[in-house]
Amino acid sequence: MGLLLCQDYVRPSYVDLALVLAVLGPVGTLVFARLLAGELADDGVALYVLGHAGVKAALFACTGILLDRHGTVDEHTLHGRARQLRGVAVLFAAGALGLAGLPPFGTALGKSVTEEAAGGPLTVLYVLASAVTAGAVLRVAARVFLGLGPPPPEAGEYETTGSGEEPETRGRIGFVPDTMTAVPALLLAGALAVGATPGFGDMVAHAVNEAGSGGAVVAVHWTPLGILLGFVSTLLAVGLAAVAVTRPKLLAAPDRALPLRRLQSGHVGDYVAWLLVGATLLGVLTLPGVPAT
């Protein structure tokens, strides 16, 4: 469901909400990886979480800059208004590519290790989830920072717009200081370091095994297939974003998609409800593994 909600055919105009929904796809694949491969997937999952944390935090930091500069995080209102924020645009696009699993980001290495442990079915799921979620973020970047595509229509009845967000500064800033752009830059550098630093993957694997992964040892290294799949998911993400921007009607939401908007409109009550549902489901899934006392 997260893959559907973050894409254009069930589009939230709220940039923060789009990023939140983009988390659901990767998190779902991590759960499937653990279910399919058991302890063998722990090392890849840990690496993916580390890389994903840096990438997603950088994207939220860039969104905060948009809020402080323009007083809104509504994709519709921001259409083409952030063209002058070239540095932020580069960081936002880099974060989207990291979300897609572009090597050498840590997300790509985590995907590669997990796919090798879990096998074919998860590989397809990982590629699709990464492409769809990253494509949604690249769509936002193209519209907000480049002004590509027609101006989006007004938000629907069941969508939040992000226009009522309050800037974190005392007022709208006239320029973006280096201290603001340094934060997402350092976060992206950390996400890159997870995948590019020699020996870091083995260190993470050792820490995971010490924490109690059942003694399962998986070789943590880049594979030609993992690198190829990282580029494939990235190209698919770019293609989806291009279609969403240039041919938005192809991904227009049909009437039958309206119930999905009702499931998560971005209102606080929806977040609370889904948090309770997720916590309950997680408890049900993990309860069989808790030893009896």
* pLDDT band at residue 146 using 50, 70 and 90 as cut-offs: very high
How many domains are there within the chain? Answer: 1
Question: Which residues lie across from 74 on neighbouring strands?
Answer: 14
Cα separation, 183 vs 266, whole angstroms = 26
**14 strand-pairing partners:** 74
Is a pLDDT exceeding 60 seen at residue 292?
no
pLDDT for residue 93: 96
Residue 96 has pLDDT above 80, yes or no: yes
Q: Which amino acid is at 164?
A: G
56 vs 189, higher pLDDT: 189
For residue 244, the model assigns a pLDDT of 86
Best-predicted range by mean pLDDT (20-24, 120-124, 287-291): 120-124
Q: Which of 126-140, 192-206, 245-259 has the lowest mean pLDDT?
A: 245-259
Give the model's pLDDT for residue 293: 44
Q: Taking each helix axis from N to C terminus, what angle separates 106-118 and 224-246, rounded to the nearest 10 degrees?
A: 120
Q: For residue range 198-243, list pLDDT tens digits in order.
A: 989 889 888 887 776 655 566 688 989 999 999 999 999 999 999 9
Question: Which of 172-176, 190-194, 244-248 has the least mean pLDDT?
Answer: 172-176
Q: Tens of pLDDT along 260-271?
A: 556 655 555 665
Q: Average model confidence (pLDDT) for the chain?
A: 77
Name the 3-class secondary structure at 74: strand
pLDDT at 196 over 50: yes
Q: By residue range, what is the domain housing residue 239?
A: 2-289
Helices (H), the chain: 2-6, 15-37, 42-70, 86-100, 106-118, 120-146, 178-196, 200-212, 224-246, 258-263, 268-286
pLDDT in tens, 14-59: 565 566 556 666 666 666 666 666 666 788 888 988 999 999 899 9
Q: Which of the pair, 276 or 162, is modelled with greater confidence?
A: 276
Mean pLDDT on 150-171: 58
